[in-house]
Amino acid sequence: MVTRMQLGENARIALATLRENKMRSFLAVLGVVIGVTALVSVCAIMVGLDHRIRTSLNEFGTNVLFISKFGVFTGSLTPEERVRKPLTLDDALAIRELCPSVSQVSADIFPRMGSRLRVINARYRGKEVSNVSFYGTLPTDAEVTNARLAKGRFFSEAENLHRTDVAVLGYDLADGLFGIEDPLGKTIMVGGVAYVVVGVMERHKGQLFGSDEGDRGVRVPFRSYRKHDPTADEVSISALVIPERMADAEDEVRGLLRRRRNVPYNKPDNFGISSPQQIADQFRQITASIALLIALIASIGLLIGGVGVMNIMLMSVTQRTREIGVRKAIGARRRDIIWQFLTEAIALTGTGGLIGVLISVGISLLLNALLPSLPSRVPLWGVALGVGVSMSVGLFFGMYPAVKAARLDPVDSLRYE
């Protein structure tokens, strides 16, 4: 067995060799650096996105069902999906009345896809904010989506029924339009219509799919929105479920909508139902597939780095043949020689792994500063993975040169010039 003292001595020799041949060592592990950088950077982005999506969904609460014309993460639309009829306000009201496991329902309305852009501009006096998310919703939206107000109030059922032009603003939008001025009671122009501000939402802790629509949004009463845009008929529904009854609620909603939308028993749903957990799981599956693909690409860099390490170690064996002969002549065993060269190979690739991790941390910080919509968080297990993989590369590709060095004949080695 190799003692701790021997390992320490081997490590010192390995590091001294690296210092003596800096450029050669760097070129040998360049592939490892690139591979580890790619691997850890992908882990950081995937972890950051996963944290963002879960934080966003948790703001809605865990007992909410999202019902829409399409499912979440829908790719290219099929011919059947292109002609699907939208959900309606009556569908939302039917869910509230006829699904025992649902305690409350909200519905959002916005223009049909392809009819016009959903995001428009909001203006107050001389100030204007572009790319505003503007939609109508029910007064129950605050309860269903667990929305919290920073100031003011949400609009009432009476204001919705009477189509009153009032609005609740997202935090960033209110800050952009009013600054330190109190927005409550002020009139803003959105889409050419004047709305009186009655409330401001708290800032979101996380943004769904990297979007900041919630903080840059204008919510108005459902019927007020439809009054000014009668052609708008795209409706999405959110249903607040009684705790511990999520599965029952999903079955009840699915059965009700299939009947209301006349879906034959042998046909699939022509609508989508998702819970926060399902959305998070689907998102994780997608990101896991992307991460696997990029990890395979990163492995090519590690393979190239491993071959480079093997070459430099074989060269080192040739250059240090006399040294190996001397070590054997004074009693070094084969395993001592093997561990000496393996330690050097592991130190070489381990150093490359550390450099890759440091570069990944720098990339992560840069992404967070320049692209807040692409969150990145380097996890501790990602650091351990990067260093561990790099050292494993050194162990694997350093084995052949180490065994070759250990098998050298001491007499021939001492004669080597």
Q: Tokens at residue 215, please?
A: 């903080």
Over the chain, what is the mean pLDDT?
A: 81
Q: Which residues are bridge partners to 220 per DSSP?
A: 136
DSSP 88: -
Give the residue with greater pLDDT, 143 vs 344: 143
CA–CA gap between residue 396 and residue 12 (Å, rounded): 21
Q: Which of 254, 275, 296 corresponds to the end of one domain?
A: 275
Contact 351, 24 (CB under 8 A): no
The domain in which residue 191 lies consists of 63-275
Whether 103 and 36 share a structural domain? no
- 193-197, 222-226, 313-317: least confidently modelled range: 313-317
- Answer whether residue 180 shows pLDDT above 90: no
Whether 299 and 262 share a structural domain? no
Whether 35 and 121 share a structural domain? no
Q: Tokens at residue 226, please?
A: 């439809």
pLDDT tens-digit readout, 8-37: 666 666 666 666 666 666 777 788 888 888
| Reported confidence tier of residue 414, pLDDT bands at 50, 70, 90 | low
Quick one: pLDDT at residue 277?
76
Quick one: pLDDT at residue 224?
94
Whether 337 and 230 share a structural domain? no
Whether 213 and 303 share a structural domain? no
Q: Which residue has the tokens 């569908």?
A: 91
pLDDT tens-digit readout, 358-370: 999 998 888 888 8
pLDDT tens-digit readout, 103-128: 999 999 988 765 444 558 899 988 88
pLDDT tens-digit readout, 270-295: 888 888 777 777 777 777 777 788 77
- Answer whether residue 134 shows pLDDT above 60: yes
| Reported confidence tier of residue 298, pLDDT bands at 50, 70, 90 | confident
Q: Where are the alpha helices (DSSP H) in 21-156?
A: 22-60, 79-82, 89-98, 141-144
Quick one: pLDDT at residue 231?
85
Burial 187-215 (b: 16+ CB within 10 A, else e): ebebeebebebbbbbeebebbbebebbbb
- Average of per-residue pLDDT across 201-229: 76
The values of phi and psi at residue 376, to 5°, are: -145, 130
Q: Tokens at residue 3, please?
A: 């003692």
Give, rounded to a whole angstrom, the gap between the first and last alpha carbons of the chain.
32
Supply angle C-alpha 87, 200, 108, rounded to 5.
Answer: 0
Q: Rg of the chain over CA atoms, in angstroms?
A: 31
pTM of structure: 0.67
Q: Which residue has the tokens 């990297």?
A: 210
Q: Which of 249, 275, 301 corresponds to the end of one domain?
A: 275
Q: Which of 256, 275, 294 corresponds to the end of one domain?
A: 275
Q: Tokens at residue 80, please?
A: 């059947």
CA–CA gap between residue 31 and residue 3 (Å, rounded): 32
**Count of domains for the chain:** 2
CA–CA gap between residue 203 and residue 199 (Å, rounded): 13
Q: Tokens at residue 383, please?
A: 């650091």
Whether 308 and 223 share a structural domain? no
Q: Where are the alpha helices (DSSP H) in 61-170?
A: 79-82, 89-98, 141-144, 157-161
**Cβ neighbours around 289 below 10 Å, total:** 10
Whether 285 and 270 share a structural domain? no
Quick one: pLDDT at residue 168?
94
Quick one: pLDDT at residue 115?
47
Whether 234 and 136 share a structural domain? yes
- Answer whether residue 140 shows pLDDT above 80: yes
Whether 125 and 257 share a structural domain? yes
Whether 170 and 147 share a structural domain? yes
- Answer whether residue 392 shows pLDDT above 70: yes
- 98-102, 123-127, 166-170: least confidently modelled range: 123-127
Quick one: pLDDT at residue 156?
92
Whether 261 and 130 share a structural domain? yes
Residue 39 C-beta-side C-alpha neighbours within 13 Å: 28
Whether 260 and 308 share a structural domain? no
- Cα separations in angstroms, 350 against 38, 329, 390: 16, 31, 5
